[in-house]
Chains A and B, each alone.
Chain A
Amino acid sequence: MFELIGIPPQALFGQMLLGLINGAFYAVLSLGLALIFGLLNVINFTHGAQYMLGAYVAWLLLNFLGINYWLALILAPVVVGAFGILLERLMLRKLYHLDHLYGLLLTFGLALIIEGVFRNLYGISGQSYPVPPVLTGGYNLGFMFLPLYRGWVVFFSLVVCLGTWLVIEKTKLGSYLRAGTENPTLVQAFGINVPRMITLTYGFGVGLAALAGVLAAPIYQVKPTMGADMIIVVFAVVVIGGMGSIMGSVVTGFMLGLLEGLTKVFYPEASNTVIFVVMAVVLLIKPAGLFGKAS
């Protein structure tokens, strides 16, 4: 059947897997953005830089302290998340009463500064991060070869997204978050410390970005521009899924990664633009996004 359309199955499934991996990063990153946007009303342009920081913290931990991938998977999000909490406390907090635009400008500026500092320190060529030993190699599934680490990235990203979704939809904490996204003033008047919840949510969203960075480190080069390259696409994903929609950002992330992979097979010239074309179409037909509620 595949021969009929002139595409070898190895190539098709290989590209689909690559697409799924990109989709996994899109999903984890846009999930964090959606959480932050929902509660803080801030479009966190620093997200890409925080993803890059996650990868660098993992790389630094490995090269200077000999701390392995598995520990870095926990430590890097904690360290970068703590840095996010500091940003929220010292800067972002002062902008909530102003228009969205100010938060966007601040986080955009911060992204440029962070990226600049790392360019200065490490150049632009990038460092490589080894695949953890237990995840090297892969399986021949017959129709395609599955590199183990890539399978892990897709699996683990799904677990993280589903776990986050479950916490938001099914727990008490999640109900505070959902309610706080709708009407923070009233939630606070019920006795919840909303400013603290906002700080922790920002820290968690930033931690998710850093987690994606650690996952990415063995696949892509660890380099200062990795976040800037990624974040443009992730913003398109968020727009397509619908600003602030949790499930929307996860599903859209995976779907668009897949779409990108398929485009590489069938019409490679368009693979870099297909997401933006979808974004334009969605904006014209359903401006609130596929999963967004029109306000």
Chain B
Amino acid sequence: MPDTNPELQLEVSDLHAHYGESHILHGMNFAVPKGEVVTLLGRNGAGKTTTMKAIMGIVQKRGGSIRFEGQELVGLPSNRIARLGLAYCPEERGIFSSLNVTENILLPPVVKPGGMSLQDIHGLFPRLKERGYSQGTKLSGGEAQMLAIARILRTGASLLLLDEPTEGLAPLIVQQIGDIIRDLKRRGYTILLVEQNFRFAATVADRHFVVENGVVVDWLPNDQIGQSTEKLKKYLGV
């Protein structure tokens, strides 16, 4: 059995993943220390979402190892993985249109003690309190993104997987999301964040992993992002 570092909440080693016949992840290696905000940066189609889905067990065809608090996740169905304390906020947000806002928040079952209460959540997202009875489909893009994040805070999960939470949102909303991510970090959550916008990522994260064609090709701590801007631009093709 490999040594597990108790400071690492998530350790991904030699992760492979497939959609049917297509081989998408080719041996991803990275780790997320407890209490940090860590990003996966990469171009469209690099495999960032697939990595999230492989961790959550939504993509079942995977090989290698994913350890959460020392426990192996490869081989477990996604409902069991969620019960261990991981929560997923998908790129397409996944708001349920047949549920109202409050029902959406209350949907994910509590899996561990210590999650936020509905009141805490309303404190952090006052807009969602006002819109409690609105149908899930009647929200603006920003509100829907807030709801998608709010929904996974009640469950007691300690590791949050956020897939491009700023995608397609106005600068002001992006700023708010940044505030929320910093707030969640102060509350002790560990966050794995997928981003294409490294300038935003730099305002919230502790370290960054660069993904290209299904492998991690580089990583850097956040305080080196200033001197690595040119390199990052090349990786991301911007």
Contacts and interface: CB of A to CB of B under 8 A. Distances in A.
In this complex, which of B77, B87, B107, B155 has the most chain A Cβ atoms within 10 angstroms of its Cβ?
Answer: B107
Contacts of A172: 106
B45 interface: no
24 contacts: A175-B106, A175-B107, A178-B98, A178-B99, A179-B96, A179-B98, A182-B98, A183-B96, A185-B58, A186-B90, A186-B94, A188-B78, A189-B56, A189-B57, A189-B58, A189-B79, A189-B82, A190-B87, A190-B107, A190-B152, A191-B79, A191-B82, A192-B79, A193-B79
A190 B107 CA distance: 8
Interface in A103-122: none
A194 interface: yes
Q: How large is the interface on B (under 10, 10 to 19, 20 to 34, 35 or more residues)?
A: 20 to 34
Q: How large is the interface on A (under 10, 10 to 19, 20 to 34, 35 or more residues)?
A: 10 to 19
A48 B96 CA distance: 32
A192 B94 contact: no
Nearest to A186: B94
Contact of A190 (B77, B98, B103, B155): B155
B83 interface: yes
Contacts of A182: 96-98
B114 interface: no
Contacts of B152: 190
Contacts of B116: none
A13 interface: no
A157 interface: no
A201 to B, nearest CB: 15
A167 to B, nearest CB: 14
B98 A191 contact: no
A185 B98 CA distance: 16
A81 B153 CA distance: 37
Decide if the interface of chain A is mainly helix, strand, loop or mixed. helix
B209 interface: no
Interface in B17-56: 56
A178 B137 CA distance: 14
Which 7 interchain pairs have the tightest Cβ spacing?
A: A191-B82, A190-B108, A178-B98, A189-B78, A179-B96, A186-B94, A188-B79
A186 B57 CA distance: 11
B111 interface: yes
Nearest to B161: A189
Interface string B103-131: 10011110100000000000000000000
B96 to A, nearest CB: 5
Nearest to A180: B96
Contacts of A191: 79, 82-83, 108-109, 111, 155
